[in-house]
Chains A and B, each alone.
Chain A
Amino acid sequence: MYKYIFRRIYQLVIVFFLFLVTSYILFDAIPGNAFQNMLLNPLLPPGAYEQVLALYGLDKPLSERIVLYITNFFKGDFGYSYKYYPKTPIELIAERLPRTLMLFAMVNIVAFYTGFLIGKILAWRRGSKSETWITITSVFSYTVFYPWFALMMLWFFGYKMDWLPIGKFLYPEKWYDAPFDSDVIFMLMIKFTVIVSLVMFFIYMITRNIESLNSKRNLRFTGFIFTIIGSFIFWNTGDAFTKKIYAADIAYHMILPVLTVTIVAFAGTALLTRTTMMEVLKDDYILTARAKGLSQRRIRDRHAARNALLPVVTSFIFTIVTIIDGSVLTETIFSWPGMGQLILDSVLNEDIPVAMATFSFIGVFALIAHFIADISYAYLDPRIRIQSQG
């Protein structure tokens, strides 16, 4: 086992190295460079363009630049952004990441819970009319042409009804005399969300083993109420009280993107849960449970759903990887200045250091997730013979 893990780590490093080289070559293959629009200036002094290129090292041949970049990369030096010059890519990512995380953490938590719940019910009510209609709705929202759907949502809620703001993540006029950065608020909100979801998870875990379904539900409900009261107290005391209006402003801007992405994202989980749940329902121990005379809800929630959860969670881990990738479109449409816009911006402007840094950020994320998934597969499923896997 350890030998396998060591070999995997060794391969991981090679893959990452190849990934860096491939991405650099891809960025370099885009015609032109980040400073070419200087040439449009008719008053440009002769030699200035070449000087700028030499300053940023863009006049060197490709191979030399790749070697330089990779050696610097492993030293921890990611260079400077071409477009936002004195800033480094790390600073840019640190500025943008909380915004994306905030938005998509919300979306994923909501979408996962609703999706799992709906999928569970779908598999259970197989063959009924309501199942057909819910399935049609979720297939529609799963395959809907996303940019079009997002624009329609923007039109309806933002323009026609005028309930929610169109784009951006705050009203600038409210922030003129704000004593904080928006990032401070974002970090506070992320901390709040994480703590609340941890508390909810704890309540779930503690009440998990209570036999009676009724008292379990009551306990969970009480816990939920207490969490709400606790968060109310948190936002109305001390430091958080001064930040409340700003947090509320951001939250108000977040409603529409969260709603739209959730509608699109929940369906994938729901349909997957339905499939795995239906496979589980064919297993013998479900028949045994029925024969024992257990109640339907107990079979559904205790015996079937918990076993159907495993593949769903695995696929959920993989969707976490695609969060940043998938945020490109959402953030462009809702003009939410997060990681997705940073990637798109840097790619289109050929801001190579920033683009490389964001790409490798996603890459490291993906590699670690795949590694963990692989190891756990090999650990959990003896049928997949580990010896055969190189």
Chain B
Amino acid sequence: MKNNNNEKEIAKSLRREAIKKNWRLFKQSRLGMVGLYIVFFFFLLTILQPILFITGMWDESTYNPVVGYVDQTQDFLIVECPKEFPTEKYEKRSDCPGKNEVNVKTLFYADGEVGETIQLNLQPAPPSRRHILGTDSLGRDVFSQIMEGSQVAFLLGILSATLGVGISTILGTIAAFFGGKIDAYLMRQSDLVLMLPTLPLLFIISAFAELKIWHLAVVLGTIGGLGGTVITIKSQALQVKVKPFVDSARITGGSQMKILFSHVLPNVAPLALLFMVFSVTGAIASESVLSFLGLLNIEMSWGLMIYLAQVEGYIFSGLKFWWLILPAGLSVTFLTGGFYLVGRGLDEVFNPRLRKR
């Protein structure tokens, strides 16, 4: 009994040592650390929003990413735009109305004469002290939306990546280990999934099922897990299977299950972890694309923010409304990039041939 305990202790300390060593290797890749910082930054954003709401620093009615609203008014000077350009005041048609001015022809709900000042709602409002990144056209806080979107991205990315890589690791190892008919079946199955074009397939699924975040995570995970990853993991497992220690385990009388779970699977696990990190990238990008096309039934996400900015025509206003366009797009880019860099760092840890010396 004591002996057994001792063995466990040794195993534990060995594992701790290995983790420490791997961490040291990971720290050597500078870009991997940059990626980790980026991911960590977005993770902070996800947990910051609930904290702000619970502690009462943020008022729920003002800062709610979906229904929050606060009045913001500003004085505007009513002008009449000339028919011909250029005039003394305006050079081009796009210069009128200028800053803090409003065209008399676009005043539908308010009365006013040319030359008067009028108080109008200012939405989308530029960044101010109250709204760090301004508001969108419905008066909702953009910074709060970014935080909500990062919650969605983390939930969806990690859930679908875990599910997908779990499925493909198990299937790939089984295919490599048992071979024969099981292998043929599994490989043809992944052929079938790979044959279906991904984006149109997601369109179809979103047409007959109302996709919420959870459903989308399951769908993306399953499609990713049954597809190409199985083939890659299988080829890795095949290389493990022909290694001498598997043969020696078989000769010493290890059962098939034992060999599968304690010899083959642990040697495939690093690659699986790597794929998991990379497939987080894919899941976040897919979600953003789908909500960018307006096909998802979710309340707020980064893709939806860009979709709204595009539908309402702010995207071609250039940088005048930058807070509607840049934060969301850059968030998607940076978070996926961060995960990608972490994956690359892990790649260098697990694949000694990629290391510097």
Contact = CB atoms under 8 A, between A and B. Distances in A.
Given A144-B333, A390-B180, A366 B306 contact: no
Interface in B153-198: 179-185, 187-188, 191-192, 194-198
A15 B179 contact: no
A359 B191 CA distance: 14
A52 interface: no
A278 B354 contact: yes
Secondary structure type dominating chain A contacts: helix
Interface stretch (B68-76, B112-120, B235-243): B235-243
A329 B204 CA distance: 15
A22 B325 CA distance: 39
Nearest to B242: A383
Interface stretch (B41-49, B248-256, B310-318): B310-318
B144 interface: no
A329 B197 contact: no
A157 interface: no
Interface stretch (B12-20, B58-66, B97-105, B281-289): B281-289
B45 to A, nearest CB: 17
B192 A139 contact: no
A367 B196 contact: no
A132 interface: yes
A344 B203 contact: yes
A282 to B, nearest CB: 5
Contacts of A324: 197
Contacts of A370: 191, 194
Contacts of A326: 199
Contacts of A15: 188, 191-192, 195
Contacts of A127: 356
A38 interface: no
Interface string A358-390: 010011001100100000000000011100111
B195 A282 contact: no
A147 to B, nearest CB: 5
Interface stretch (B122-130, B135-143, B259-267, B334-342): B334-342
A275 B207 contact: no
Contact of B281 (A143, A151, A389): A143
Contact of A145 (B288, B293, B316): B288
B26 interface: no
B200 A275 contact: no
Question: Which of A127, A142, A147, A324 is the most central at the interface, judged by chain B CB atoms within 10 Å of its CB?
Answer: A147
B341 A325 contact: no
Given A26-B201, A363-B195, A389-B183, A148 B306 contact: yes
Interface residues of B, number: 57
Interface string B196-235: 1111110111011000000000000000000000000001
A14 B195 CA distance: 13
A347 interface: yes
A242 interface: no
A211 to B, nearest CB: 30
A390 B198 CA distance: 28
Contact of B198 (A30, A126, A325): A325
A305 interface: no
B353 A282 contact: yes
A367 to B, nearest CB: 6
Please name the 10 residue pairs, one residue from A and one from B, whose CB atoms are nearest each other, closest first: A390-B184, A148-B329, A388-B179, A325-B197, A145-B332, A143-B336, A143-B337, A363-B195, A30-B207, A279-B353
Interface of B: 30-31, 179-185, 187-188, 191-192, 194-201, 203-205, 207-208, 235, 238-239, 242, 281, 285, 288-289, 292-293, 302-303, 306, 310, 315-316, 318, 325, 328-329, 332-333, 336-337, 340-341, 347, 351, 353-354, 356
Given A11-B188, A132-B31, A139-B341, 15 more contacts: A22-B196, A139-B31, A143-B285, A152-B315, A152-B325, A279-B353, A279-B354, A325-B198, A328-B199, A328-B200, A347-B204, A363-B195, A383-B242, A390-B180, A390-B182
15 contacts: A31-B207, A127-B356, A143-B333, A145-B332, A275-B347, A279-B354, A343-B200, A347-B203, A359-B200, A366-B195, A370-B191, A370-B194, A383-B242, A389-B183, A390-B185
